[in-house]
Structure 1
Amino acid sequence: MDSAEHIDPTNDWPQGTQTLGRGLSIVQAIGDGAETLSELAAIIGCTRSTTQRLTAALLQQNWLRLDRAGHYALGPKLARLATQAQSGTPLASLSRTALQSLGERTRDTVHLGIRADDAVMYLDKIESRRGLETRSRVGQRMPLATTGIGRALLLDDDETEWASIYQRTIGTDARFAKWQQRMRDYRRRGCVFDLEDNEIGIRCVAAPLRDGGNTIVGAISVASATPYLGLTRMEALAPLVIATARDISGMLGWREKADATK
């Protein structure tokens, strides 16, 4: 699980809606990586029996599913809603053809994500043509500071904000200086390398998407298993990922500075 942060579903919910808040908090916790009843009970701050009653109701209505190992996951009803939300998102709609083309050219997994607080939320995913499975899914949130696509979303932030996000999501860590230096290098290059920072065995090359105001509004990445993404291939893919990001950004109204006066 990415975070064991305690959720109090009663704090911000009007009187009489606490049960709804707890149910939605369970869905959020599973989306963030919780899998067991014990984890869910600890996160939402309820007894095991109360948590079990809530999960049973959500399972019955297909908001959740339970595998043979007793692990919870988001259910088919949420998957349908995620697909509907994805199709209604202008960024996802505008990017789809370019992402499919990138997936065809690389044969690797392609992601589209946006910033959601201290996380990246995946809006779209083109599956790998190599038969490889990555754990990412549309609607999932992953930490900005550890993912390639998440760090691409941070390239314009100042270093004070980098330190703050790092501390909030990773903690006080002696590795921050190295992380910070890598971010400076990625900022200069305009793309980010994920060197198994978020998931052992998975690497990616990511680049930001910009709108007409030159603001980063999203990011894309090409991800694959490390044997398929050695450093030499990552270097070779970087220009392609950057070019695709620029093509999508152009559809959002972005123009290179040299073109601004034309």
Structure 2
Amino acid sequence: MPAGRGIATITLVSGHSGRTGPPAPKSVLARGLSLLDTFSAGEPELSLAEISARSGLPKPTAHRLLGELVEWGALERCRPGHYRLATKLFRLGQLVPRHRLLREAALPQLEELYELSHENVHLAVPDNLYTLFLEKLTGKESMAIRSRVGGRMPSHCTATGKVFLAWGGRDRLRRIVDAGLPRLTPKTIVLPGLLHQELERTVARGIGINREEAEPGVAAVAAPVHGERGQVVAALSITGRSHRLDVDRLGGLVRAAANTVSATLSSR
């Protein structure tokens, strides 16, 4: 990264607004979308009460809109009073051109990284305050971890998320800090100043490193994928047992793979 760019000049100020929940959206479309946004990878199924509380909508309004989303095919009822995302959303997601091109460009490199490491290998993209996993390769020798395709994890405690924060500009970093830095493990960085220092090291190294910050016993290393204008559009990562993950060796491999993906995207 050229001198003077990145996160080195950012001054972090933690500024929680004190709000207990999101404001209720006003338009019918926004309300329907807010219901879909309540679902997460860790909780694929939610009750009406949970959806109402998370969206900020009254139960009668949420119930009516949930019925319309079920009829359209975005949701399905899995048991009385409970809902989960339906396959129509998955089909629509596969049509996103940018993500499809990323997966096509990255898959050969992901396969090579897996053969070299036999660890979990990911392709991720930034998704608001999170890192979203577009692809994951794993095998019988790989450690079982929380991530899954289509799942999201917080940015401040994941290797791919640190890549997006380190190269994502001051606005993304400030939004992360203002939203709070939840502690997932005893090693999660939860102080803004320490996170700032970690992101400066990420830029200097050219790779993001997670040392048991998202899951106990799990470490990861990630490198940025650049688009045709030089912006970071994705990240590749290798994740495995912290006691055996050779960060120096695998960091070089994942960085070389990410550079190859960047070149492929530029050529297209």
TM bracket (short chain): 0.7 to 0.9
Return the alpha-carbon distance in structure 2 between the equivalents of residues 66 and 197 of structure 1.
35
Q: CA 1:177–1:207 in 2, change beyond 3 Å: closer, same or farther?
A: same
**Alignment length, in residue pairs?**
240
Return the alpha-carbon distance in structure 2 between the equivalents of residues 60 and 128 of structure 1.
38
**1:190 counterpart = 2:216:** no
Aligned to 2:155: 144
Return the alpha-carbon distance in structure 1 between the equivalents of residues 134 and 123 of structure 2.
6
Partner SS for 1:252: helix
- TM-score for the superposition, normalised by structure 2: 0.73
String of CA shifts for 1:192-215, please: whole Å, max 9, x gaps. 111232334433211101134432
Q: CA 1:150–1:95 in 2, change beyond 3 Å: closer, same or farther?
A: same
Aligned to 2:30: 21
Q: Given that residues 225 and 233 in structure 2 are in contact (C-alpha distance below 8 angstroms), is that contact kept between their aligned partners in structure 1?
A: yes
**1:249 counterpart = 2:262:** yes
Q: Given that residues 114 and 217 in structure 1 are in contact (C-alpha distance below 8 angstroms), is that contact kept between their aligned partners in structure 2?
A: yes
Aligned to 1:169: 179
User: Quick one: which amino acid aligns to residue 209 of structure 2?
Assistant: F
Partner SS for 1:146: coil
1:40-189 pair list within 5 angstroms: 40-59=51-70, 63-65=74-76, 72-85=83-96, 89-130=100-141, 132-157=143-168, 160-161=170-171, 164-170=174-180, 175-189=191-205
Shift of 1:60: 6.0
Aligned to 2:232: 216
Shift of 1:71: 6.3
Q: Structure 2, unaligned stretches of length 5 or more?
A: 1-19, 183-188
String of CA shifts for 1:12-62, please: whole Å, max 9, x gaps. x3xxxx1x4333221121147663432210122223344344435545665
Q: Given that residues 119 and 142 in structure 2 are in contact (C-alpha distance below 8 angstroms), is that contact kept between their aligned partners in structure 1?
A: no
Aligned to 2:9: none
Q: Given that residues 6 and 42 in structure 1 are in contact (C-alpha distance below 8 angstroms), is that contact kept between their aligned partners in structure 2?
A: no
**1:205 counterpart = 2:218:** no
Q: CA 1:8–1:137 in 2, change beyond 3 Å: closer, same or farther?
A: farther
User: Quick one: which amino acid aligns to residue 153 of structure 1?
Assistant: F
Q: CA 1:196–1:70 in 2, change beyond 3 Å: closer, same or farther?
A: farther
Q: Given that residues 66 and 72 in structure 1 are in contact (C-alpha distance below 8 angstroms), is that contact kept between their aligned partners in structure 2?
A: yes
User: Quick one: which amino acid aligns to residue 197 of structure 2?
Assistant: Q
Q: Structure 1, unaligned stretches of length 5 or more?
A: 255-262
Q: Given that residues 86 and 124 in structure 1 are in contact (C-alpha distance below 8 angstroms), is that contact kept between their aligned partners in structure 2?
A: no
Return the alpha-carbon distance in structure 2 between the equivalents of residues 69 and 131 of structure 1.
37
Q: CA 1:50–1:66 in 2, change beyond 3 Å: closer, same or farther?
A: same
Return the alpha-carbon distance in structure 1 between the equivalents of residues 190 and 239 of structure 2.
27
Return the alpha-carbon distance in structure 2 between the equivalents of residues 216 and 88 of structure 1.
14
The range that moved more, 121-130 or 238-247, is 121-130
Give the number of the structure with larger relative contact order, counting CA–CA contacts within 8 Å between residues 6 or more apart. Answer: 2
The range that moved more, 175-184 or 126-135, is 126-135
Provide the identity percentage: 27
Aligned to 1:230: 243
Return the alpha-carbon distance in structure 2 between the equivalents of residues 222 and 96 of structure 1.
14
Shift of 1:72: 4.5
Q: CA 1:190–1:131 in 2, change beyond 3 Å: closer, same or farther?
A: closer
